[in-house]
Chains A and B, each alone.
Chain A
């Protein structure tokens, strides 16, 4: 198994090396990514400078939703954020080079790049999480502790699947990046706030179509032992991994279809 992973390890290692060698520039990038996280949190802060609750959660609760969502998105963006740049790979003939190697194309695409600078945003999210976690009145059971670790990972998987779908769409729509951004970045935005603020149609869209609510809000409901809004019972918070598996199934099928379209339609 380790042997099978070696080529991916070698590919990623060289990308990591090339990013880290430019120390000052890399530090600047990480700082920039962290700044994005801070400015986004400013939105939550500003709202709570005016009110005491949003969507049924207090500041500590909303901050937790925000932090979990941002952490998940930063991790996904780090690993596969480059996937929505598929047209570049098509144009440079890199995808053809992938087809000529004895490895799955998607795996090669995923390991072809890594955005280490997103660690800045991840760090900010972790910091916020670390601060607000004790502020919340959580009854810690073994299951809840496990959920705390599983949720960001499942959330990252969900966002990663969305990036794969965004890439696959661009086999058909070359200008598609602007369109899919509505679901990748829009999904990230929707996941950062309690889904209870949405009216039912939007809630359904961002829970059962784009599983944004599973990333942070629903697990938070479980952790805080709060009831969910209409249509979203609390126990769904345990189903984040299921949601991740579901969206990944869609992503893999979509990717295969896109690749078939590419080799069938020519370039």
Chain B
């Protein structure tokens, strides 16, 4: 197992001022008894609402934070005690924080990282060339990091994290703030890397599309506990999360009730816009559209995916946590 977590717990003591002089101590259970194993070569999505404990888990996996109790082993090493050995074998990308040198061009950052990881010259220049090509970095390789756009910076960070060919790549919200095209390109790249190098992928995200395209397993964490461990279709089926098709019609139509596997969620008063919810494991958007097309003309449509908060909330409601 490349990651092995057993009964992991992490508490924080938060002092909040109550009144003018005193402060009360609240204990926050950021991670509350997590257990899971990740096999090498797999691709795991780690999802949960904000504050659910995702970042705290990542910190404990990478040696930045010590658990309050429980065990965690990454690449077979104790993350804190084996910090430096571990750093050679994993790559970490934080979407919200940069690990690059702010005023240096990317090229310099890579040269520095190669020196830090003591990579032989031929090896890393070949690797860098590959990454530059696949992530399309050539046009801004000599620009200082602080002048890069968010999308450029993220690509640069991912290349930095992969330069030393780690066995495990951990990404914390890598696609946050990126436009649709950039997200898609990133996902394609990560999938390729996995195939080409067998890199294990652990990805925390709020974006279900990231999970859908990249991960073959999902861990859902809620209030520091594991609420689900399985595949995405399984999760969607389990909570009955729906995709919602918003239809703009050419002329006012009666409510589109009674279409198989769909539920009419909303009809605007003029009948020109209607919303249908359906479960992706029961039918497809195309099938629903075909049925609708038999009844009326569709001018335009949008599809909403179930959002993480919704999925997690439903999951939580479906199977409440065991009492403490």
Q: A: which residues have CB within 8 A of B?
A: 3, 6-7, 9-11, 14, 18, 92-93, 96-97, 99-104, 263-264, 266
Contacts and interface: CB of A to CB of B under 8 A. Distances in A.
The dominant DSSP class at the A interface is helix
Contacts of B196: none
A263 B72 CA distance: 15
A93 B172 CA distance: 14
A14 B101 contact: yes
B117 interface: yes
Given A7-B115, A10-B112, A10-B115, A102 B94 contact: no
Contact of A6 (B65, B66, B104, B115): B115
A102 B10 contact: no
Contact of A93 (B97, B104, B112, B115): B97
Contact of B85 (A7, A9, A102): A102
A92 B83 CA distance: 21
A263 B64 contact: yes
B246 interface: no
A11 B112 contact: yes
Given A18-B103, A93-B97, A266-B10, A101 B108 contact: no
Interface residues of B, number: 30
A143 B10 CA distance: 58
Given A93-B94, A96-B97, A263-B66, A102 B88 contact: yes
B101 A96 contact: no
A14 B108 contact: yes
A103 B112 contact: no
A99 B99 CA distance: 11
B99 A103 contact: no
Nearest to A95: B64
A103 B111 contact: no
A263 B10 CA distance: 12
A11 B117 CA distance: 13
Contacts of B65: 263, 266
B87 interface: yes
B63 A99 contact: yes
A98 B92 CA distance: 12
Contacts of B83: 99
Q: Which 8 A-B pairs have the closest CB atoms?
A: A102-B87, A93-B97, A7-B115, A97-B99, A7-B116, A102-B84, A6-B115, A264-B66
A103 B84 contact: yes
Contacts of B299: none
Contacts of B36: none
Nearest to B104: A14
A266 B58 CA distance: 12
B62 interface: yes
B189 interface: no
A92 B117 CA distance: 23
A82 to B, nearest CB: 15
A62 B90 CA distance: 56
Given A3-B118, A14-B101, 8 more contacts: A6-B115, A6-B118, A7-B116, A14-B104, A99-B64, A100-B87, A101-B116, A102-B117
Contacts of B104: 14
A92 B96 CA distance: 11
Interface string B209-250: 000000000000000000000000000000000000000000
Contacts of B56: 266
Nearest to A3: B118
Nearest to A92: B97
A201 B247 CA distance: 85
Interface in B140-184: none
A101 B87 contact: yes
- Name which of A11, A18, A96 has the most chain B CB atoms within 10 A of its CB: A96
Interface string B98-125: 1101011000100110011110000000
A99 B84 CA distance: 8
Given A102-B85, A103-B84, A263-B66, A10 B111 contact: yes
B199 to A, nearest CB: 17
Contacts of A9: 115
- Name which of B10, B85, B104, B111 has the most chain A CB atoms within 10 A of its CB: B104
A103 B99 CA distance: 14
Nearest to A103: B116
B119 to A, nearest CB: 11
B80 interface: yes
A252 to B, nearest CB: 17
A128 B87 CA distance: 48
Interface string B30-47: 000000000000000000
Contacts of B103: 18
A96 B118 CA distance: 21
Contacts of B111: 10
A215 B101 CA distance: 35
B84 A7 contact: no
Nearest to B86: A102
A96 B64 contact: yes
A102 B117 CA distance: 7
B93 to A, nearest CB: 10
Nearest to B10: A266
Contacts of B118: 3, 6
Contacts of A101: 87, 116
